[in-house]
Structure 1
Amino acid sequence: MSQIQIAEIIEQISQEIEVDANGQAKASVRATARLAGVDDESIRKALKSSADLAPSKLAKELMLQGFETADLTEWKTKGIPDVAIAIILEYYAYEAGRYCTKQARLICRSFNTIGIRAWIQNKLGWTKPASNSETAMTQIQLLAAIAQQMAQQEQHLLQQQQQQTEILHRLKAVEVEQDRVNTPCGHKYSVVGFANLQGLEISVKEAGTKGKKASALCRKQGIEIERIHDPRFGQVGLYPESVLIEVFKAEQS
Protein backbone atom coordinates (compact mmCIF):
# COMPACT_ATOMS: atom_id res chain seq x y z
CA MET A 1 0.00 0.00 0.00
CA SER A 2 1.34 3.41 -0.96
CA GLN A 3 1.47 6.58 1.10
CA ILE A 4 -1.04 8.09 -1.33
CA GLN A 5 -3.55 5.34 -0.54
CA ILE A 6 -2.98 5.74 3.20
CA ALA A 7 -3.56 9.48 2.86
CA GLU A 8 -6.82 8.78 1.04
CA ILE A 9 -8.01 6.47 3.84
CA ILE A 10 -7.18 9.09 6.46
CA GLU A 11 -9.19 11.67 4.56
CA GLN A 12 -12.13 9.28 4.16
CA ILE A 13 -12.37 8.56 7.91
CA SER A 14 -11.80 12.14 9.06
CA GLN A 15 -15.47 12.51 9.99
CA GLU A 16 -15.31 9.40 12.18
CA ILE A 17 -12.42 10.36 14.44
CA GLU A 18 -12.57 13.01 17.14
CA VAL A 19 -10.64 14.46 20.02
CA ASP A 20 -12.18 16.05 23.11
CA ALA A 21 -11.14 19.17 25.00
CA ASN A 22 -8.71 17.12 27.10
CA GLY A 23 -6.96 15.77 24.02
CA GLN A 24 -8.34 12.24 24.39
CA ALA A 25 -9.06 10.77 20.99
CA LYS A 26 -11.38 8.07 19.70
CA ALA A 27 -12.58 6.66 16.41
CA SER A 28 -15.57 4.71 15.19
CA VAL A 29 -15.41 0.96 14.68
CA ARG A 30 -15.51 1.54 10.93
CA ALA A 31 -12.64 4.04 11.03
CA THR A 32 -10.54 1.70 13.17
CA ALA A 33 -11.23 -1.17 10.77
CA ARG A 34 -10.21 0.99 7.79
CA LEU A 35 -6.92 1.82 9.50
CA ALA A 36 -6.27 -1.86 10.25
CA GLY A 37 -7.20 -2.97 6.74
CA VAL A 38 -9.99 -5.32 7.89
CA ASP A 39 -13.78 -5.24 7.66
CA ASP A 40 -15.58 -3.56 10.55
CA GLU A 41 -17.68 -6.65 11.23
CA SER A 42 -14.55 -8.51 12.35
CA ILE A 43 -13.90 -5.90 15.02
CA ARG A 44 -17.57 -5.79 16.06
CA LYS A 45 -17.60 -9.56 16.56
CA ALA A 46 -14.40 -9.39 18.59
CA LEU A 47 -15.84 -6.68 20.84
CA LYS A 48 -19.10 -8.58 21.23
CA SER A 49 -17.28 -11.79 22.15
CA SER A 50 -15.96 -10.16 25.34
CA ALA A 51 -19.21 -11.18 27.02
CA ASP A 52 -18.91 -14.81 25.89
CA LEU A 53 -17.43 -17.66 27.89
CA ALA A 54 -14.69 -17.93 25.28
CA PRO A 55 -13.84 -14.38 24.14
CA SER A 56 -11.78 -13.86 21.00
CA LYS A 57 -8.03 -13.39 21.14
CA LEU A 58 -8.41 -9.68 20.39
CA ALA A 59 -11.00 -9.26 23.15
CA LYS A 60 -8.63 -10.99 25.58
CA GLU A 61 -5.82 -8.65 24.58
CA LEU A 62 -8.01 -5.63 25.27
CA MET A 63 -9.20 -6.95 28.63
CA LEU A 64 -5.63 -7.77 29.65
CA GLN A 65 -4.90 -4.08 29.24
CA GLY A 66 -7.54 -3.23 31.84
CA PHE A 67 -10.63 -2.69 29.71
CA GLU A 68 -13.91 -4.17 30.94
CA THR A 69 -16.55 -6.07 29.01
CA ALA A 70 -18.85 -3.07 29.39
CA ASP A 71 -16.21 -0.86 27.77
CA LEU A 72 -15.89 -3.08 24.71
CA THR A 73 -19.67 -3.24 24.33
CA GLU A 74 -19.96 0.54 24.58
CA TRP A 75 -17.32 1.13 21.91
CA LYS A 76 -19.56 -0.33 19.21
CA THR A 77 -21.75 2.76 19.39
CA LYS A 78 -19.66 5.42 21.13
CA GLY A 79 -16.31 4.88 19.45
CA ILE A 80 -13.04 3.20 20.38
CA PRO A 81 -10.57 5.14 22.57
CA ASP A 82 -7.09 5.88 21.27
CA VAL A 83 -5.29 3.44 23.58
CA ALA A 84 -7.56 0.60 22.45
CA ILE A 85 -7.06 1.56 18.79
CA ALA A 86 -3.32 1.12 19.26
CA ILE A 87 -3.88 -2.37 20.72
CA ILE A 88 -6.21 -3.34 17.85
CA LEU A 89 -3.75 -2.12 15.22
CA GLU A 90 -0.88 -3.98 16.85
CA TYR A 91 -3.01 -7.13 16.96
CA TYR A 92 -3.78 -7.01 13.23
CA ALA A 93 -0.20 -6.03 12.48
CA TYR A 94 1.58 -8.86 14.31
CA GLU A 95 -0.68 -11.18 16.32
CA ALA A 96 -3.68 -12.07 14.16
CA GLY A 97 -1.95 -14.90 12.33
CA ARG A 98 -3.29 -15.28 8.80
CA TYR A 99 -5.50 -12.25 9.38
CA CYS A 100 -2.54 -9.90 9.81
CA THR A 101 -2.46 -7.08 7.27
CA LYS A 102 0.38 -5.13 5.74
CA GLN A 103 -1.64 -1.95 6.14
CA ALA A 104 -1.92 -2.46 9.90
CA ARG A 105 1.86 -2.86 10.10
CA LEU A 106 2.46 0.35 8.14
CA ILE A 107 -0.01 2.35 10.23
CA CYS A 108 1.24 0.79 13.47
CA ARG A 109 4.82 1.67 12.56
CA SER A 110 3.84 5.30 12.10
CA PHE A 111 1.92 5.37 15.37
CA ASN A 112 4.83 3.88 17.28
CA THR A 113 6.82 7.04 16.70
CA ILE A 114 4.30 9.59 17.92
CA GLY A 115 1.50 7.64 19.58
CA ILE A 116 -2.08 7.17 18.43
CA ARG A 117 -3.39 10.03 20.56
CA ALA A 118 -0.80 12.51 19.34
CA TRP A 119 -1.39 11.33 15.76
CA ILE A 120 -5.14 11.93 15.87
CA GLN A 121 -4.64 15.26 17.63
CA ASN A 122 -2.27 16.25 14.86
CA LYS A 123 -4.55 15.02 12.08
CA LEU A 124 -7.48 16.98 13.51
CA GLY A 125 -5.46 20.08 14.25
CA TRP A 126 -6.16 19.86 17.99
CA THR A 127 -4.14 22.12 20.26
CA LYS A 128 -4.49 23.36 23.79
CA PRO A 129 -7.04 26.21 24.09
CA ALA A 130 -5.58 29.22 22.31
CA SER A 131 -6.14 32.91 22.78
CA ASN A 132 -8.52 34.79 20.52
CA SER A 133 -5.60 36.27 18.62
CA GLU A 134 -4.32 32.83 17.63
CA THR A 135 -5.64 30.98 14.62
CA ALA A 136 -5.47 27.31 13.80
CA MET A 137 -5.85 25.27 10.64
CA THR A 138 -9.24 23.59 10.35
CA GLN A 139 -9.52 19.81 10.42
CA ILE A 140 -10.30 19.53 6.72
CA GLN A 141 -7.51 21.93 5.76
CA LEU A 142 -4.99 19.98 7.83
CA LEU A 143 -6.06 16.62 6.45
CA ALA A 144 -5.96 17.94 2.90
CA ALA A 145 -2.50 19.41 3.46
CA ILE A 146 -1.17 16.16 4.93
CA ALA A 147 -2.66 14.08 2.12
CA GLN A 148 -1.15 16.40 -0.49
CA GLN A 149 2.25 16.36 1.20
CA MET A 150 2.31 12.56 1.36
CA ALA A 151 1.29 12.31 -2.30
CA GLN A 152 4.02 14.75 -3.31
CA GLN A 153 6.62 12.76 -1.37
CA GLU A 154 5.62 9.55 -3.11
CA GLN A 155 5.66 11.23 -6.52
CA HIS A 156 9.13 12.59 -5.79
CA LEU A 157 10.31 9.10 -4.84
CA LEU A 158 8.97 7.66 -8.09
CA GLN A 159 10.79 10.35 -10.07
CA GLN A 160 14.04 9.58 -8.25
CA GLN A 161 13.68 5.87 -9.03
CA GLN A 162 13.09 6.65 -12.71
CA GLN A 163 16.14 8.92 -12.81
CA GLN A 164 18.29 6.22 -11.20
CA THR A 165 17.15 3.71 -13.82
CA GLU A 166 18.04 6.12 -16.62
CA ILE A 167 21.46 6.78 -15.09
CA LEU A 168 22.20 3.04 -14.88
CA HIS A 169 21.32 2.61 -18.56
CA ARG A 170 23.61 5.50 -19.49
CA LEU A 171 26.48 4.14 -17.40
CA LYS A 172 26.17 0.77 -19.07
CA ALA A 173 26.27 2.39 -22.51
CA VAL A 174 29.34 4.42 -21.52
CA GLU A 175 31.05 1.29 -20.21
CA VAL A 176 30.52 -0.47 -23.52
CA GLU A 177 31.79 2.52 -25.47
CA GLN A 178 34.87 2.84 -23.27
CA ASP A 179 35.71 -0.80 -23.88
CA ARG A 180 35.51 -0.36 -27.63
CA VAL A 181 38.68 0.59 -29.49
CA ASN A 182 38.83 1.40 -33.21
CA THR A 183 41.77 -0.30 -34.91
CA PRO A 184 42.70 -1.01 -38.56
CA CYS A 185 41.54 -4.59 -38.13
CA GLY A 186 38.20 -3.62 -36.67
CA HIS A 187 36.72 -3.04 -33.26
CA LYS A 188 38.34 -4.53 -30.19
CA TYR A 189 36.64 -5.20 -26.88
CA SER A 190 37.36 -6.62 -23.49
CA VAL A 191 35.43 -9.81 -22.69
CA VAL A 192 33.12 -7.97 -20.28
CA GLY A 193 32.62 -5.09 -22.70
CA PHE A 194 31.66 -7.47 -25.51
CA ALA A 195 29.26 -9.33 -23.19
CA ASN A 196 27.60 -6.05 -22.21
CA LEU A 197 27.30 -5.10 -25.86
CA GLN A 198 25.47 -8.37 -26.51
CA GLY A 199 23.24 -7.90 -23.46
CA LEU A 200 24.74 -10.94 -21.73
CA GLU A 201 25.34 -11.45 -18.01
CA ILE A 202 28.80 -12.80 -17.29
CA SER A 203 30.57 -13.68 -14.06
CA VAL A 204 34.19 -12.87 -13.23
CA LYS A 205 35.08 -16.56 -13.53
CA GLU A 206 33.43 -16.84 -16.96
CA ALA A 207 35.15 -13.68 -18.14
CA GLY A 208 38.51 -15.12 -17.10
CA THR A 209 37.87 -18.39 -18.93
CA LYS A 210 36.77 -16.64 -22.12
CA GLY A 211 39.73 -14.27 -21.89
CA LYS A 212 42.16 -17.19 -21.85
CA LYS A 213 40.50 -18.74 -24.90
CA ALA A 214 40.51 -15.42 -26.74
CA SER A 215 44.21 -14.95 -25.92
CA ALA A 216 45.00 -18.42 -27.26
CA LEU A 217 43.16 -17.70 -30.52
CA CYS A 218 44.97 -14.37 -30.92
CA ARG A 219 48.37 -16.01 -30.43
CA LYS A 220 47.43 -18.73 -32.89
CA GLN A 221 46.46 -16.13 -35.49
CA GLY A 222 49.43 -13.89 -34.75
CA ILE A 223 47.26 -11.06 -33.42
CA GLU A 224 48.82 -8.77 -30.85
CA ILE A 225 46.79 -8.49 -27.66
CA GLU A 226 46.42 -4.95 -26.42
CA ARG A 227 45.94 -4.37 -22.73
CA ILE A 228 44.18 -1.57 -20.89
CA HIS A 229 43.72 -0.71 -17.23
CA ASP A 230 40.41 -1.69 -15.68
CA PRO A 231 39.58 -0.47 -12.13
CA ARG A 232 37.78 -3.74 -11.42
CA PHE A 233 40.24 -6.31 -12.77
CA GLY A 234 43.53 -4.45 -13.22
CA GLN A 235 44.94 -5.12 -16.70
CA VAL A 236 42.53 -6.69 -19.19
CA GLY A 237 43.03 -7.70 -22.78
CA LEU A 238 41.35 -6.23 -25.84
CA TYR A 239 40.42 -8.76 -28.50
CA PRO A 240 39.14 -8.36 -32.06
CA GLU A 241 35.40 -8.68 -32.41
CA SER A 242 35.80 -11.68 -34.72
CA VAL A 243 37.79 -13.57 -32.07
CA LEU A 244 35.26 -12.84 -29.35
CA ILE A 245 32.39 -13.92 -31.58
CA GLU A 246 34.14 -17.24 -32.12
CA VAL A 247 34.80 -17.68 -28.38
CA PHE A 248 31.24 -16.87 -27.33
CA LYS A 249 29.75 -19.08 -30.05
CA ALA A 250 31.95 -21.99 -29.00
CA GLU A 251 30.73 -21.62 -25.41
CA GLN A 252 27.08 -21.61 -26.49
CA SER A 253 27.34 -24.62 -28.78
Structure 2
Amino acid sequence: MSQIEIAKIIEQISQEIQIDVNGQGKASVRATARLADVNDAGLLRNLRTAADKTHSKLVEKLIRKGFEPAEIWGWSESGIPDIAVATIIHYYGYEAGKRCTLQATLVCEAFESIGVRAWIQDKLGWTKPAAHSETAMTQIQLLAAIAQQMALQEQRLLEQQQQQTEILARIQAVEVEQERFNAPCGHKYSIVGFANLQGLEISRKEASTKGKKASALCRQQGIEIERIRDPRFGRVGLYPESVLIEVFKAEQN
Protein backbone atom coordinates (compact mmCIF):
# COMPACT_ATOMS: atom_id res chain seq x y z
CA MET A 1 0.00 0.00 0.00
CA SER A 2 1.38 3.40 -1.01
CA GLN A 3 1.03 6.83 0.56
CA ILE A 4 -1.29 7.71 -2.33
CA GLU A 5 -3.68 4.91 -1.28
CA ILE A 6 -3.52 6.10 2.32
CA ALA A 7 -4.41 9.60 1.12
CA LYS A 8 -7.54 8.15 -0.52
CA ILE A 9 -8.56 6.48 2.75
CA ILE A 10 -8.05 9.76 4.60
CA GLU A 11 -10.27 11.51 2.06
CA GLN A 12 -13.01 8.91 2.59
CA ILE A 13 -13.16 9.51 6.35
CA SER A 14 -12.86 13.29 6.21
CA GLN A 15 -16.53 13.67 7.20
CA GLU A 16 -15.93 11.75 10.43
CA ILE A 17 -13.29 14.02 11.91
CA GLN A 18 -13.79 17.36 13.63
CA ILE A 19 -11.78 20.11 15.25
CA ASP A 20 -12.54 22.64 17.97
CA VAL A 21 -11.55 26.30 18.23
CA ASN A 22 -8.35 25.34 20.02
CA GLY A 23 -7.23 23.16 17.15
CA GLN A 24 -7.77 19.88 19.01
CA GLY A 25 -9.12 17.19 16.72
CA LYS A 26 -11.37 14.18 17.18
CA ALA A 27 -12.22 11.21 14.99
CA SER A 28 -15.04 8.69 15.18
CA VAL A 29 -14.41 5.09 16.17
CA ARG A 30 -15.17 4.03 12.59
CA ALA A 31 -12.72 6.54 11.12
CA THR A 32 -9.99 5.46 13.53
CA ALA A 33 -10.60 1.79 12.73
CA ARG A 34 -10.48 2.60 9.01
CA LEU A 35 -7.09 4.26 9.44
CA ALA A 36 -5.76 1.27 11.39
CA ASP A 37 -7.38 -1.23 8.99
CA VAL A 38 -9.23 -3.04 11.78
CA ASN A 39 -12.89 -3.85 12.38
CA ASP A 40 -14.67 -0.89 14.00
CA ALA A 41 -16.87 -3.17 16.13
CA GLY A 42 -13.76 -4.95 17.37
CA LEU A 43 -12.07 -1.65 18.20
CA LEU A 44 -15.17 -0.52 20.10
CA ARG A 45 -15.25 -3.73 22.14
CA ASN A 46 -11.58 -3.23 22.88
CA LEU A 47 -12.13 0.32 24.12
CA ARG A 48 -15.13 -0.63 26.25
CA THR A 49 -13.00 -2.92 28.38
CA ALA A 50 -12.15 0.38 30.09
CA ALA A 51 -15.27 -0.27 32.20
CA ASP A 52 -14.12 -3.78 33.14
CA LYS A 53 -11.85 -4.84 35.95
CA THR A 54 -9.46 -6.32 33.41
CA HIS A 55 -8.52 -3.91 30.65
CA SER A 56 -7.32 -4.78 27.18
CA LYS A 57 -3.69 -4.04 26.35
CA LEU A 58 -4.83 -1.14 24.18
CA VAL A 59 -6.83 0.42 27.01
CA GLU A 60 -3.90 -0.05 29.38
CA LYS A 61 -1.71 1.80 26.89
CA LEU A 62 -4.23 4.63 26.65
CA ILE A 63 -4.44 4.89 30.44
CA ARG A 64 -0.65 5.15 30.58
CA LYS A 65 -0.98 8.04 28.14
CA GLY A 66 -3.12 9.86 30.72
CA PHE A 67 -6.65 9.04 29.58
CA GLU A 68 -9.23 8.07 32.20
CA PRO A 69 -11.19 4.80 31.83
CA ALA A 70 -14.52 6.62 31.96
CA GLU A 71 -13.34 8.98 29.25
CA ILE A 72 -12.21 6.08 27.04
CA TRP A 73 -15.54 4.29 27.48
CA GLY A 74 -17.40 7.37 26.24
CA TRP A 75 -15.44 7.81 23.02
CA SER A 76 -18.06 5.91 21.04
CA GLU A 77 -20.32 8.92 21.54
CA SER A 78 -17.93 11.85 21.88
CA GLY A 79 -15.25 10.80 19.41
CA ILE A 80 -11.63 9.81 19.98
CA PRO A 81 -9.15 12.64 20.73
CA ASP A 82 -6.40 13.13 18.18
CA ILE A 83 -3.62 12.05 20.53
CA ALA A 84 -5.54 8.87 21.35
CA VAL A 85 -6.03 8.25 17.61
CA ALA A 86 -2.26 8.35 17.20
CA THR A 87 -1.84 5.95 20.13
CA ILE A 88 -4.40 3.49 18.72
CA ILE A 89 -2.84 3.51 15.25
CA HIS A 90 0.62 2.99 16.75
CA TYR A 91 -0.72 0.07 18.81
CA TYR A 92 -2.14 -1.69 15.74
CA GLY A 93 0.97 -0.87 13.78
CA TYR A 94 3.53 -2.28 16.20
CA GLU A 95 2.11 -3.73 19.44
CA ALA A 96 -1.03 -5.73 18.64
CA GLY A 97 0.78 -8.96 17.83
CA LYS A 98 -1.16 -10.98 15.27
CA ARG A 99 -3.63 -8.11 14.94
CA CYS A 100 -0.97 -5.71 13.68
CA THR A 101 -1.73 -4.34 10.22
CA LEU A 102 0.59 -3.06 7.55
CA GLN A 103 -1.72 -0.13 6.91
CA ALA A 104 -1.49 1.02 10.53
CA THR A 105 2.30 0.94 10.27
CA LEU A 106 2.24 2.98 7.07
CA VAL A 107 -0.21 5.49 8.54
CA CYS A 108 2.12 5.89 11.53
CA GLU A 109 4.96 6.64 9.15
CA ALA A 110 2.81 9.11 7.21
CA PHE A 111 1.89 10.97 10.40
CA GLU A 112 5.34 10.74 11.93
CA SER A 113 6.42 14.20 10.83
CA ILE A 114 3.23 16.21 11.16
CA GLY A 115 1.25 14.36 13.84
CA VAL A 116 -2.44 13.52 13.82
CA ARG A 117 -3.47 16.86 15.28
CA ALA A 118 -1.58 18.84 12.67
CA TRP A 119 -3.12 16.67 9.96
CA ILE A 120 -6.68 17.23 11.21
CA GLN A 121 -6.06 20.97 11.55
CA ASP A 122 -4.81 21.15 8.00
CA LYS A 123 -7.54 18.85 6.66
CA LEU A 124 -10.31 21.05 8.06
CA GLY A 125 -8.60 24.33 7.26
CA TRP A 126 -7.85 25.40 10.84
CA THR A 127 -4.87 27.68 11.38
CA LYS A 128 -3.65 29.45 14.47
CA PRO A 129 -4.51 33.18 14.31
CA ALA A 130 -1.31 34.96 13.38
CA ALA A 131 -0.14 38.30 14.69
CA HIS A 132 0.04 41.18 12.21
CA SER A 133 3.81 41.08 12.39
CA GLU A 134 4.00 37.43 11.34
CA THR A 135 4.98 36.99 7.72
CA ALA A 136 6.53 33.53 7.78
CA MET A 137 4.58 30.38 6.95
CA THR A 138 2.63 28.85 9.81
CA GLN A 139 3.65 25.43 11.04
CA ILE A 140 0.64 23.82 9.39
CA GLN A 141 1.38 25.50 6.07
CA LEU A 142 4.98 24.39 6.23
CA LEU A 143 4.03 20.81 7.04
CA ALA A 144 1.43 20.84 4.27
CA ALA A 145 4.09 21.98 1.82
CA ILE A 146 6.38 19.16 2.97
CA ALA A 147 3.57 16.61 2.61
CA GLN A 148 2.79 17.89 -0.89
CA GLN A 149 6.43 17.60 -1.86
CA MET A 150 6.54 14.02 -0.59
CA ALA A 151 3.45 13.16 -2.65
CA LEU A 152 5.05 14.63 -5.77
CA GLN A 153 8.21 12.63 -5.14
CA GLU A 154 6.20 9.44 -4.77
CA GLN A 155 4.33 10.18 -8.01
CA ARG A 156 7.62 10.71 -9.85
CA LEU A 157 8.92 7.45 -8.40
CA LEU A 158 5.85 5.59 -9.67
CA GLU A 159 6.34 7.10 -13.12
CA GLN A 160 9.99 6.04 -13.13
CA GLN A 161 9.02 2.51 -12.11
CA GLN A 162 6.48 2.38 -14.95
CA GLN A 163 9.12 3.53 -17.42
CA GLN A 164 11.55 0.91 -16.13
CA THR A 165 8.87 -1.78 -16.54
CA GLU A 166 8.25 -0.73 -20.14
CA ILE A 167 11.97 -0.67 -20.91
CA LEU A 168 12.41 -4.13 -19.37
CA ALA A 169 9.57 -5.50 -21.49
CA ARG A 170 11.20 -4.10 -24.63
CA ILE A 171 14.57 -5.58 -23.67
CA GLN A 172 12.99 -8.98 -23.08
CA ALA A 173 11.29 -8.84 -26.50
CA VAL A 174 14.62 -8.00 -28.15
CA GLU A 175 16.33 -10.85 -26.27
CA VAL A 176 13.70 -13.34 -27.46
CA GLU A 177 14.15 -12.25 -31.06
CA GLN A 178 17.94 -12.28 -30.68
CA GLU A 179 17.79 -15.80 -29.27
CA ARG A 180 15.71 -16.91 -32.25
CA PHE A 181 18.14 -15.25 -34.66
CA ASN A 182 21.19 -16.81 -33.02
CA ALA A 183 19.66 -20.30 -32.78
CA PRO A 184 20.87 -22.39 -35.74
CA CYS A 185 17.40 -23.80 -36.41
CA GLY A 186 15.13 -21.04 -35.15
CA HIS A 187 12.06 -21.66 -32.98
CA LYS A 188 10.45 -25.09 -32.73
CA TYR A 189 6.83 -25.84 -33.61
CA SER A 190 4.53 -28.80 -34.03
CA ILE A 191 3.26 -29.51 -37.55
CA VAL A 192 -0.23 -28.20 -36.77
CA GLY A 193 1.15 -25.24 -34.84
CA PHE A 194 3.37 -24.18 -37.74
CA ALA A 195 0.50 -24.62 -40.20
CA ASN A 196 -1.73 -22.38 -38.06
CA LEU A 197 1.07 -19.82 -37.87
CA GLN A 198 1.18 -19.77 -41.67
CA GLY A 199 -2.61 -19.53 -41.95
CA LEU A 200 -2.88 -22.99 -43.53
CA GLU A 201 -5.53 -25.64 -42.95
CA ILE A 202 -4.14 -29.13 -42.54
CA SER A 203 -5.81 -32.51 -42.10
CA ARG A 204 -4.75 -35.12 -39.60
CA LYS A 205 -3.41 -37.30 -42.41
CA GLU A 206 -1.39 -34.43 -43.89
CA ALA A 207 -0.01 -33.58 -40.47
CA SER A 208 1.11 -37.18 -40.01
CA THR A 209 2.81 -37.23 -43.42
CA LYS A 210 4.62 -33.95 -42.82
CA GLY A 211 5.62 -35.11 -39.35
CA LYS A 212 7.32 -38.18 -40.78
CA LYS A 213 9.21 -36.07 -43.32
CA ALA A 214 10.24 -33.57 -40.66
CA SER A 215 11.45 -36.40 -38.41
CA ALA A 216 13.50 -37.85 -41.26
CA LEU A 217 15.14 -34.49 -41.97
CA CYS A 218 15.94 -34.03 -38.28
CA ARG A 219 17.61 -37.44 -38.11
CA GLN A 220 19.63 -36.66 -41.24
CA GLN A 221 20.85 -33.39 -39.69
CA GLY A 222 21.44 -34.88 -36.25
CA ILE A 223 18.75 -32.72 -34.63
CA GLU A 224 17.04 -34.08 -31.52
CA ILE A 225 13.24 -34.10 -31.76
CA GLU A 226 11.47 -32.78 -28.68
CA ARG A 227 8.16 -34.45 -27.78
CA ILE A 228 5.24 -32.76 -26.02
CA ARG A 229 1.76 -33.83 -25.00
CA ASP A 230 -1.14 -32.97 -27.29
CA PRO A 231 -4.85 -33.45 -26.37
CA ARG A 232 -5.70 -34.63 -29.89
CA PHE A 233 -2.70 -36.74 -30.89
CA GLY A 234 -1.29 -37.85 -27.55
CA ARG A 235 2.34 -36.83 -28.12
CA VAL A 236 3.66 -34.79 -31.02
CA GLY A 237 7.09 -33.71 -32.11
CA LEU A 238 8.49 -30.21 -32.11
CA TYR A 239 10.61 -29.45 -35.16
CA PRO A 240 12.95 -26.56 -35.90
CA GLU A 241 11.49 -23.76 -37.96
CA SER A 242 14.09 -24.29 -40.69
CA VAL A 243 13.08 -27.96 -41.08
CA LEU A 244 9.37 -27.13 -41.19
CA ILE A 245 9.93 -24.46 -43.83
CA GLU A 246 11.68 -27.05 -45.99
CA VAL A 247 8.93 -29.65 -45.47
CA PHE A 248 6.06 -27.28 -46.25
CA LYS A 249 7.91 -25.76 -49.20
CA ALA A 250 8.51 -29.20 -50.70
CA GLU A 251 4.81 -30.06 -50.35
CA GLN A 252 3.78 -26.85 -52.11
CA ASN A 253 6.13 -27.60 -54.99
Give the aligned partner of residue 81 of structure 1: 81
Identity of aligned residues (%): 60
| CA distance, structure 1, for counterparts of residue 164 and residue 71 of structure 2 | 53
1:94: how far off?
Answer: 0.6
Change (3 A) 1:8 1:166: closer
CA distance, structure 1, for counterparts of residue 182 and residue 53 of structure 2: 82
Cα distance in 2, alignment partners of residues 99 and 58 from structure 1: 12
Structure 2 distance, partners of 1:47, 1:68, is: 12
Distance, in Å, in 2 between the alignment partners of 1:15 and 1:188 is 63
Residue aligning to 1:92: 92
Kindly state the Cα deviation for residue 174 of structure 1 after the two structures are TM-superposed: 7.7
Give the corresponding residue for 2:67.
67
Partner in structure 2 of residue 26 of structure 1: 26
Distance across 2 between alignment mates of 1:162 and 1:115: 32
Map 1:47-58; keep pairs closer than 5 Å.
47-58=47-58
Decide whether aligned partners of structure 1 residues 45 and 173 sit closer, same or farther in structure 2, where only a CA change above 3 A counts.
closer
Q: 5 Å matches for 1:140-179?
A: 156-169=156-169
Question: C-alpha deviations, 1:209-243, integer Å up to 9, x for none?
Answer: xxxxxxxxxxxxxxxxxxxxxxxxxxxxxxxxxxx
Query: CA separation in 2, counterparts of 1:173 and 1:73?
Result: 62
For the residues of structure 2 that align with 1:170 and 1:5, how far apart are their CA atoms? 29
Per the alignment, in what secondary structure is the counterpart of residue 18 of structure 1?
A: strand
* Alpha-carbon contact 2:93-2:108 (below 8 Å) kept: yes
Rounded to whole Å, the distance in 2 between the matches of 1:15 and 1:81 is: 15
By how many angstroms is 1:79 displaced? 0.6
2:107 pairs with 1:107: yes
Deviation of 1:176 after TM superposition, in Å, equals 9.8
C-alpha distance 115-176 of structure 1, shift in aligned 2 (>3 A): same
TM-score after normalising by structure 1: 0.58
Cα distance in 2 for partners of 1:166, 1:8 equals 27
Q: What SS is found at the alignment partner of 1:38?
A: coil
SS in 1 for 2:22: coil
Instruction: State the alpha-carbon separation in 2 of the partners of residues 28 and 166 from structure 1.
Output: 43
1:138-179 CA-partner distances (Å, limit 9, x unpaired): xxxxxxxx99x95x876654432221123345567789999x
Greater Cα radius of gyration, structure 1 or 2: 2
Give the drift of 1:111. Answer: 1.1
> CA contact under 8 A between 2:19 and 2:25: conserved in structure 1?
yes
Aligned residue for 2:54, secondary structure, equals coil
Consecutive unaligned residues of structure 1, counting only runs of 5 or more, are 132-145, 179-186, 190-245, 247-253
Q: CA RMSD in A?
A: 4.0
1:17 pairs with 2:17 = yes
Per the alignment, do residues 83 and 177 of structure 1 end up closer, same or farther by CA in structure 2, a change over 3 Å counting? same
Deviates more, 1:40-49 or 1:98-107: 40-49
* Count of matched residue positions in the alignment of Structure 1 and Structure 2: 185
**Matched AA of 2:126:** W
Q: Which runs of 5+ in 2 are unaligned?
A: 132-146, 184-222, 224-253
